Structure 1
Amino acid sequence: MSDLPPLPGPCELCGGLRGTRREGSLICADCGWRYGDAPDPDLPLPAIEVVYYLRYDRRVKIGTSRRPRQRLASIRHDELLAFEQGGRALEQQRHREFALVREGGEWFTLTDEVRAHIAALRERGEPWTLYARWLSDALR
Structure 2
Amino acid sequence: MDSTDALPGPCLLCASLTGTRVDQAWVCAVCGWRYGDVPDDGLPLPRVDVVYYLRFDRRVKIGTSHRPRQRLKAIRHDELLAFERGDRTLERRRHQEFASLREGGEWFTLATPLAEHITSLQSADLPWNHYARWLCEALRP
Confirm or deny a common fold (TM above 0.5).
yes
SS of corresponding position for 2:5: coil
Alignment deviations for residues 65-87 of structure 1 (CA, whole Å, 9 cap, x no partner) = 01101100000101000001000
**Aligned-residue RMSD, C-alpha:** 1.2
Shift of 1:4: 2.4
CA distance in structure 1 between the partners assigned to 2:125 and 2:47 by the alignment: 20
Counterpart of 1:82? 82
Cα offset for 1:124? 6.9
Distance in 2 between the 1:23 and 1:111 partners? Answer: 47
Q: Residues of 2 paired with 1:19 and 1:66: CA distance?
A: 26
Q: Give the TM-score taking structure 1 as reference length.
A: 0.95
Show CA shifts across 1:40-60 (max 9, x none).
000000111000000001000
- Please report the TM-score for the alignment, with normalisation by the length of structure 2: 0.94
2:92 is the counterpart of 1:92: yes
Report SS of the residue matched to 1:5: strand
Partner of 2:47: 47
After TM superposition, the structure 1 = structure 2 runs for residues 43-122 of structure 1, keeping only pairs within 5 Å, are 43-122=43-122
- Report how far residue 24 of structure 1 moved: 3.3
Aligned to 2:19: 19
Alignment length (residue pairs): 138
Structure 1 unmatched runs, 5+: none
Partners of 1:38 and 1:62 lie apart in 2 by 33
Shift of 1:125: 2.9
Measure, in 2, the Cα distance between the counterparts of 1:86 and 1:80.
Answer: 16
- Fraction of identical pairs, as percent: 64
Ranges in structure 2 where 5+ consecutive residues have no aligned partner = none
Match of 1:126 in 2: 126
